[in-house]
Amino acid sequence: MDRIRIVGGAPLFGRIPISGAKNAALPLMIASLLTPETLTLENVPRLADVALLKRILGNHGAEVTVEGKRPAQDEFTGDTVRLTAREIVDTTAPYDLVSRMRASFWVLGPLLARMGEAKVSLPGGCAIGTRPVDFFLSGLRALGAEIEIDRGYVLAKAPKGLVGGRVDFPKVSVGATHVVLMAAALARGETVIHNAAREPEIVDLADCLIKMGAKIEGAGGSVVRIEGVGSLGAARHRVLPDRIETGTYAIAVAMAGGDVVLEGARHDLLESAFDVLVEAGAEISTTNEGVRVARNGHGVAPVRVTTAPFPGFPTDLQAQLMALTAKAKGSSSITETIFENRFMHVQELVRLGAKIHLDGDTAVIEGVEKLTGAPVMATDLRASVSLVIAGLAAEGETIVNRVYHLDRGFERLEAKLSRCGATIERLSS
């Protein structure tokens, strides 16, 4: 099993290209099941989750191909992927595939909308919380679907097609908004989603669906209207830059010091997180090439943060921010409101010398003057990269074990950091 070795102490200088967003690419790929024509996606990141989803879509009959690279493209340029689900050969998504990646459960919406039926395994447990699928199912029921759960599978039927309706989410759910948005695109009549997720990835999916022929208004707001159409067609769409990768590298620069341009990053996708980093002492500015992040030697200031759905501070940056505040000059607090079990990285940060006290859903971090390298264990994707960030500023050597988590969400992380001066390498077993 691969490990990441880091020797801390080097500031970061240079340029880091930001990949396409995994959280946008996955629903966009799943949307290809809505049409027999070809959906072409540009800037698709090369990640383990993307590779697995290609296999899952192939199981349903989609043909997935990657366009060849042009000579001018470098190693960090995303793939252009062509997806053609000319014929759906199987409406079942089995447990052995769905259990490996929760987002694959989202095929339920397009399969049901296009084929009138779907049998999709419940996704099972998740390291960071329960993440139930109730909202997904209630949303599809509001569109006329007949749904039952039998022996771990969701059995959904709409033999006469889905019908537009009113969907009221009692709590914001990005996944459920994705699924209902896709399903409603082919439903008869108008669907109105209330309390819809407002994340940029929702907007990106809506933009792509509109290019395919869907009629959608209000994406990015809490109320979204979809007028169903009889069919969707071919389209070409570029995946938006990954705001979580952007925030992660911005925090890495704030932690290690230095001056880095995050190429292709968009400031508007991450304003709340950038505000927090400025409060912590980072300098952030927008350039023609992306976002520039710098920090001088004055240290990190303490901050108080509560995670929230977009446009609030992202839960997917909570662990990374905790690593940063471990070296703040004072006491910081981070309250996690999205997932109930997303503090598993705390004990591993403590191994590096961090002082963290948990009080329910709040972590209180007392900044220390120095962190010291040690072997640590990754528990999930964001926890993994928080340990890398801590290692960049720790004295001596840090070894991060179980880095297969990183490969699910960060493309060539060690290569991107090393090109900016970090001493970091992958150790293969």
Annotated binding site: 22-23, 102, 171-174, 316, 338
Q: What are phi and psi of 16, to 5 degrees?
A: -125, 115
Cα–Cα nearest to 24, from 47, 3, 4, 6? 47
What's the gap between Cα 161 and its chain centre?
31
Active site residue 208: no
Catalytic residue among 51, 89, 126, 127: 126
Helix axes 318-325, 271-280, angle to 10 degrees: 10
Q: Is 266 left (phi over 0), alpha (psi -120 to 50) or beta?
A: beta
Sequence letter at residue 299: G
Cα–Cα nearest to 261, from 10, 15, 7? 15
CB neighbours of 73 closer than 8 A, spacing ≥ 6? none
Yes or no: say if 167 and 142 are a contact pair by the CB < 8 Å rule. Answer: yes
Give the residue numbers of the binding site for UDP-N-acetyl-alpha-D-glucosamine.
102, 171-174, 316, 338
282 token code pair: 């980072």
Pairing of strands 12-17, 258-263: parallel
Instruction: Say how many C-beta atoms besides its own lie within 10 A of residue 412's C-beta.
Output: 18
Cα–Cα nearest to 1, from 401, 381, 379, 388? 401
Give the residue numbers of the binding site for phosphoenolpyruvate.
22-23
Peptide bond into 94 cis (omega under 30): no
Yes or no: say if 93 and 120 are a contact pair by the CB < 8 Å rule. Answer: yes
Cα–Cα nearest to 278, from 258, 259, 250? 250
- Secondary element (H or E) of residue 291: strand 290-295
Q: Is 104 left (phi over 0), alpha (psi -120 to 50) or beta?
A: alpha
What positions carry a catalytic annotation? Answer: 126
